[in-house]
């Protein structure tokens, strides 16, 4: 007689008994249960440890970020982001959980234990009993809660990154312009459409997940697979459920077509325009409407079939019909484009081209460029040059790269100081507007002779001062003249630096702790290893006096020394995010930043970094896209104090709808432009990155006639150029001829600081026009283009370069210098507008082979194909326009035959020979070739004696 079964025995165990499999003994089961309990406890502890290791650094990062935002006064940025992420995440998570869990429970509800088993159960045990089926369904019900909760959390996390999209949709500001197709305000596409796209995408993803959740119980639990016919059938209740979800999915598909795909055609990129084409408007949009209607009809048919028990057959038919319509909606427009539009493209696309030109000009801010024509017979005379003396006096003879090398050699003072970049600016010095070149002397901790926690974070904490000089002056040795130099900074002009320490700069990318028990190195002083020290007393940085703060930052930066160091006291602050571009981006994450921050010496002697900030979008209908962006404005300027890191943002373009939207999201964070201090406003400049994009686009979009635009009859291009590399080689670059300069524009009474770039006709070298952005006072931000007559020939940069290369005097001098022991660096060719004409200027630098101190030796000036070279720009211009004309007139008066050598010419020839021998001797001296040095000095003496110099 068999043992009776306990009434509460587990169905699965009972099923095993019936199959002839003996259960374990009770003692062994109890022992296993105890072991399982210990394993679960151990597993829980390990899980807590892993979670702690994973989340503690993240928590430390969030807390330290909050302290940093509070320190710079931008808590609203941090709090708004966190609050928006939590709000949108919770909302999405709750909706996802309710939707997924409700569908899972509905799919698993209604257990029917009287159904027949699934035949062919794998494992050889036999058919699955009704009890086992019921157990599987109960297990599925229990698993529904954790699985749907997990999926809801994943969905919430995926949506939190769209927090800024949601806030922009809520606070979106109208543009005041409508699109030419649907008549909607541009703000709808920039602010509302992205949010609609996210919402519909989220709904579609949830429907897919819900269908999978419903399909699992349908196929694994409720399906009936006949042993003979192998036929799939679904019971009415799950069939209706499945049909309802599939129908809603098609409904969402129809909405996505109507609200996302059709408006998205306005951002398409085609030839010859960006935006909706004739084919889009006439064929593709109607085809998409048909596809949308087909999705709606399909949704209704599937829902009806689900409730009538015909789901499978109807679904297959709906899918086949929908796919056929979708294929047709892609093929028919392509055929129409090829057979109907292309043969008559200009006539068909003319209205769209007009929309494209207008939208691109408006989106990139080039719709208000002032166009001015230059006189075809404009000629330069010595009087015109004299009248534009301010322009000549500010010609930039020092390229940034050679000047950066020179600063690095003569002003670094110590190996741990670096000059990162050279910036152009203008200052009123002794009453005159002067263009200067300025570079900050920053600390490079990687070059310290001894590195470690104390040196890198407590002692060597900051850079020191700047080097500043005029853009066009040179010493007799060929080195730049310096107005501010040395350590501590010494000024020879009316610019004083009272706070030279640079804690925040372009290189400052690690944290420092100051003040502390260690003295902070200020600068080397006196002889030997003597040095001056200072202590940080700024308000910037987060205090770290408490144990909790030190523990927090030890986690944040992975440095146990922050916690253990005895040099930190109640005064100590931790300064981090010190690289100014990173600091600005973290403080204002909704802005893009120009690549070139620049330093300003303020009236009170403090140093402040200025950064240009942009608002941008890729959703401006019909506008040309560059790198995914088709709308951009320089809407803000950001000032960061180099000593204490204070961040201030000023709105410079209050009419920009995007900056107004961000100001509504973060009220009070950005300040009006009028509140910017006057000594900073005097140094704002038009940003190079934006001007670079605008000029590149204007080269094509200055053509307003659609026919001219289509044929590209008057397309311009940016002339090619090159830049000097540290190795002495020159590299081709598209950045050439983009220059800030002080000059007097044609027709203007005074000189001003402008940003300028020339144009040449497409695939030609002659000059077509040049474009400027104004930087000073009320004229700031205004763009103008100066055009040469199309029927006249004005030599372009490449033609002038060829002329210079063909000039025998220039070629001979370069060949003479570019020999063993020295090398010649050709500076960038400068295009200098004077009146209605142009002067080209190219500096020549000489550098000892293997050396790093380029010396400015010659200046080449060219005008209308005439070339002159001299030691100074004034001398070269005099050779072109002044002294040469006077010498020719004097020769004619004295009856000297053409080509005959005068006494002055003989003297100049001897002087030239003397200079050649002198230069060769200096080159030999630098390379320590003493034999050549002695020979050249001997020849120099012979020439001097020939000149009568004893």
Is the per-residue pLDDT at 4 higher than 70? Answer: no
Q: How far is CA 30 from CA 6, 15, 33, 35, 397, in A?
A: 17, 21, 5, 9, 91
All residues at 6 or more sequence positions from 376 whose CB lies less than 8 Å from its CB, including other chains? 788, 789, 791, 792
User: 206 is written with which tokens?
Assistant: 């949830």
Say if CB 406 and CB 847 are below 8 A apart: no
Inform me whether the pLDDT recorded for 699 exceeds 70. yes
Q: Would you state the structure tokens that stand for residue 932, as one six-digit string?
A: 């050549």
Overall average pLDDT of the 923-938 stretch: 71
Question: Are 850 and 753 contacting, i.e. CB atoms less than 8 angstroms apart?
Answer: no
Q: Residue for token digits 């005159």?
A: 432
Least confident segment among 224-238, 276-290, 650-664, 818-832:
224-238
**906-919 average pLDDT score:** 66
103-154 pLDDT, tens digit each: 888 877 644 434 443 333 333 333 445 555 555 556 666 777 888 899 999 9
Give the pLDDT confidence of 140-150 residue by residue, as tens digits: 667 778 888 99
Q: Give the pLDDT confidence score for residue 673 in this predicted structure.
A: 95
- Give tens-digit pLDDT for 570-580: 999 999 999 99
DSSP state of 507: S
Kindly state the average pLDDT of the residues 748-765. Answer: 90
Task: Give the start-end residues of each E strand in 314-367.
Answer: none
Q: Supply the pLDDT for residue 818.
A: 74
Q: What is the pLDDT of residues 424-457, one digit of tens each?
A: 999 998 888 899 999 999 999 888 888 899 999 9
**Residue 897 pLDDT more than 60?**
no
Say which residue the tokens 């892609």 belong to.
Answer: 330
pLDDT higher for 480 or 11?
480
Residue 133 pLDDT = 54
* 687 three-class SS: coil
The pLDDT value recorded for residue 358 is 96
Least confident piece of the model among 204-218, 291-305, 371-385: 371-385
**Separation of alpha carbons 632 and 193, rounded Å:** 18
Instruction: Report the pLDDT value the prediction gives residue 725, as an integer from 0 to 100.
Output: 36
R_g over Cα of the chain: 38
User: Dihedral sign, CA of 463, 465, 471, 476?
Assistant: negative
In this prediction, residues 18-35 reach a mean pLDDT of 53
> What residues form DSSP beta bridges with 841?
830, 861
Which DSSP letter does residue 790 get?
Answer: T
Closest Cα to residue 252, out of 206, 304, 213, 312? Answer: 206
Per-residue pLDDT, averaged over 648-665, amounts to: 96
Question: With 60 as the cut, is the pLDDT of residue 25 above it?
Answer: no
pLDDT confidence of residue 674: 93
Given this model, what pLDDT does residue 836 score?
A: 77
Task: Compare 227 and 557 and report the one with higher pLDDT.
Answer: 557
277: helix, coil or strand?
coil
Alpha helices in 778-854 (DSSP H): 797-806, 808-817
SS3 116: coil
Instruction: Convert the pLDDT of each residue in 266-302 to its tens digit.
Output: 998 888 899 999 999 999 999 999 999 999 999 999 8
Number of alpha carbons in the 13 Å side-chain half-sphere of residue 631: 23
Residue 336 in tokens: 């129409």
pLDDT tens-digit profile of 539-593? 999 999 899 999 999 989 989 999 999 999 999 999 999 999 999 999 999 999 9
| Beta bridge mates, 427 | 434
- On the question of pLDDT at 880 being above 50, the answer is yes
Whether the ω angle into residue 234 lies within 30 degrees of 0, i.e. cis, is no
Q: What is the pLDDT of residue 928?
A: 66
Other beta carbons less than 10 A from residue 774's beta carbon: 20
Q: Which residues contact 474 (CB under 8 A, 6 or more apart)?
A: 397, 480, 481, 856, 872
Q: How far is it, in rounded angstroms, from Cα 805 to Cα 803? A: 5
Q: How far from 587 is each of 160, 473, 670, 762, CA to CA, in Å? A: 20, 40, 11, 43
Question: Which segment of 15-19, 133-137, 701-705, 726-730 scores lowest on mean pLDDT?
Answer: 726-730
State in Å, rounded, how far the first CA of the chain is from the last one: 140
Task: Please state, in angstroms and as integers, the Cα–Cα distance from residue 814 to each residue in 50, 378, 810, 819, 831, following that order.
Answer: 68, 33, 6, 9, 22
pLDDT for 908: 57
Residue 768: its H or E element: none
Rounded-to-integer distance, Cα 182 and Cα 469, Å:
56
Give dist(CA 779, CA 429) in Å, integer: 22
Distance from C-alpha of 252 to C-alpha of 95, rounded to nearest angstrom: 16
pLDDT > 90 fraction of the chain, expressed in percent and rounded: 51
User: How far, in whole angstroms, is CA 80 from its chain's centroid?
Assistant: 24
**Mean pLDDT of the residues in the chain:** 83
- What's the pTM? 0.83
Q: Distance between CA 649 and CA 610 in Å, rounded?
A: 10
Q: Could you write out the DSSP letters of every residue in 573-625? A: EEE---BHHHHHHHH-TTSEE-S--EEEE-TTSBEEEEEEEEEEES--TTPPP
Q: What is the pLDDT of residues 155-211, one digit of tens each?
A: 999 999 999 999 999 999 999 999 999 999 999 999 999 999 999 999 999 999 998
CB 498, CB 604: distance < 8 Å: yes
């Amino acid at each position: 007689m068999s043992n009776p079964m306990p009434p509460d025995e587990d169905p699965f165990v009972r099923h095993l008994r019936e199959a002839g499999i003996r259960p374990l003994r009770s003692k062994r089961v109890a022992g296993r249960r105890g072991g399982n309990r210990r394993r679960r406890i151990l597993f829980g502890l390990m899980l807590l440890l892993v979670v702690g290791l994973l989340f503690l650094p993240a928590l430390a990062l969030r807390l330290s970020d909050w302290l940093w935002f509070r320190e710079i006064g931008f808590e609203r940025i941090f709090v708004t982001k966190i609050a928006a992420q939590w709000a949108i995440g919770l909302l999405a998570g709750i909706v996802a959980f309710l939707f997924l869990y409700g569908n899972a429970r509905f799919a698993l509800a209604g257990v029917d234990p009287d159904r027949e088993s699934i035949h062919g159960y794998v494992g050889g045990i036999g058919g699955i009993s009704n009890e086992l089926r019921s157990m599987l369904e109960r297990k599925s019900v229990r698993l529904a809660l954790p699985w749907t909760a997990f999926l809801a959390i994943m969905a919430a996390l995926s949506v939190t990154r769209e927090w800024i999209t949601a806030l922009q949709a809520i606070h979106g500001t109208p543009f005041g312009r409508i699109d030419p197709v649907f008549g909607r305000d541009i703000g709808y596409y920039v602010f509302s459409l992205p949010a609609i796209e996210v919402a519909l995408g989220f709904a579609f993803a949830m429907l897919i997940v819900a269908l999978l959740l419903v399909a699992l119980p349908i196929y694994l639990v409720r399906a009936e697979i006949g042993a003979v016919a192998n036929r799939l059938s679904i019971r009415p209740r799950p069939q209706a459920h499945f049909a309802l979800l599939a129908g809603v999915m098609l409904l969402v598909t129809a909405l996505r077509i109507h609200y996302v795909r059709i408006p998205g055609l306005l951002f398409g990129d085609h030839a010859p325009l960006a935006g909706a084409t004739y084919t889009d408007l006439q064929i593709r949009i109607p085809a998409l409407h048909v596809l949308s209607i087909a999705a709606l009809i399909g949704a209704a048919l599937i829902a009806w079939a689900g409730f009538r028990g015909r789901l499978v057959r109807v679904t297959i038919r709906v899918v086949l019909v929908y796919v056929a319509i979708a294929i047709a909606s892609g093929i028919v427009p392509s055929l129409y484009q090829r057979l109907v539009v292309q043969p008559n493209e200009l006539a068909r696309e003319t209205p769209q081209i007009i929309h494209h030109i207008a939208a691109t000009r408006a989106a990139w801010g080039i719709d208000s460029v002032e166009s001015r024509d230059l006189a075809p017979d404009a000629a330069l005379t010595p009087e015109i040059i004299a009248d534009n003396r301010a322009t000549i006096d500010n010609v930039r003879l020092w390229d940034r790269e050679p000047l950066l090398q020179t600063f690095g050699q003569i002003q670094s003072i110590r190996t741990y100081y670096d000059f990162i970049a050279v910036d152009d600016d203008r200052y009123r010095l002794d009453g005159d507007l002067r263009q200067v070149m300025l570079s900050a002397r920053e600390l490079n901790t990687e070059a310290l002779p001894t590195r470690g926690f104390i040196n890198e974070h407590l002692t060597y904490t900051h850079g020191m001062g700047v080097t500043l000089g005029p853009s066009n002056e040179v010493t007799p040795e060929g080195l730049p003249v310096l107005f501010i130099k040395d350590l501590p900074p010494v000024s020879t002009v009316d610019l004083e630096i009272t706070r030279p320490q640079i804690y925040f700069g372009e290189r400052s990318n690690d944290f420092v702790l100051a003040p502390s028990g260690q003295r902070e190195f200020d600068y080397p002083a006196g002889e030997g290893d003597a040095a001056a020290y200072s202590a940080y007393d700024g308000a910037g940085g987060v205090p770290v006096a408490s144990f909790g703060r030190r523990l927090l930052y030890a986690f944040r930066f992975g440095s146990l020394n922050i916690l253990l160091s005895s040099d930190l006291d109640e005064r100590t602050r931790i300064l981090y995010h010190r690289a100014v571009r990173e600091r600005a981006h973290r403080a204002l994450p909704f802005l893009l930043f120009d690549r070139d921050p620049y330093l300003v010496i303020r009236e009170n002697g403090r140093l402040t970094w200025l950064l240009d900030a942009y608002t941008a979008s890729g959703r401006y209908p019909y506008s040309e896209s560059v790198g995914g962006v088709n709308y951009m404005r320089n809407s803000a300027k950001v000032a960061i104090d180099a000593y204490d890191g204070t961040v201030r943002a000023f709105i410079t373009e209050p009419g920009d709808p995007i900056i107004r939207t961000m100001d509504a999201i973060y009220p009070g964070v950005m300040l009006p432009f009028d509140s910017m201090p006057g000594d900073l406003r005097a140094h704002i400049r038009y940003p190079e990155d934006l001007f670079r994009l605008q000029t590149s686009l204007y080269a094509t979009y200055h053509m307003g006639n659609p026919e001219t635009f289509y044929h590209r009859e008057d397309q311009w291009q940016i002339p090619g150029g090159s830049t000097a590399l540290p190795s002495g080689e020159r590299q081709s670059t598209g950045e050439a001829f983009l220059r800030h300069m002080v000059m007097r524009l044609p027709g203007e009474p005074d000189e001003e600081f402008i940003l300028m770039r020339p144009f040449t006709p497409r695939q030609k070298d002659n000059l077509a026009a040049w474009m400027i952005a104004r930087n000073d006072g009320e004229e700031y931000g205004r763009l103008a283009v100066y055009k040469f007559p199309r029927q006249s020939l004005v030599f372009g940069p490449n033609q002038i370069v060829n002329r210079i290369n063909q000039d025998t005097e220039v070629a001979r001098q370069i060949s003479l210098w570019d020999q063993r022991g020295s090398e010649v660096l050709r500076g960038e060719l400068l295009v200098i507008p004077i009146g209605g004409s142009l002067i080209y200027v190219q500096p020549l630098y000489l550098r000892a082979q293997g050396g790093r101190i380029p010396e400015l030796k010659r200046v080449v000036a060219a005008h209308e194909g005439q070339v002159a070279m001299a030691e100074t720009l004034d001398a070269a211009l005099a050779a072109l326009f002044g002294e040469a004309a006077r010498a020719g007139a004097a020769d004619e008066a004295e009856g000297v035959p053409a080509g005959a050598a005068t006494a002055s010419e003989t003297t100049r020839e001897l002087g030239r020979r003397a200079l050649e021998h002198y230069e060769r001797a200096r080159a030999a001296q630098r390379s320590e070739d003493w034999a050549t040095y002695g020979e050249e000095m001997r020849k120099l003496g012979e020439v001097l004696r020939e000149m009568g110099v004893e």
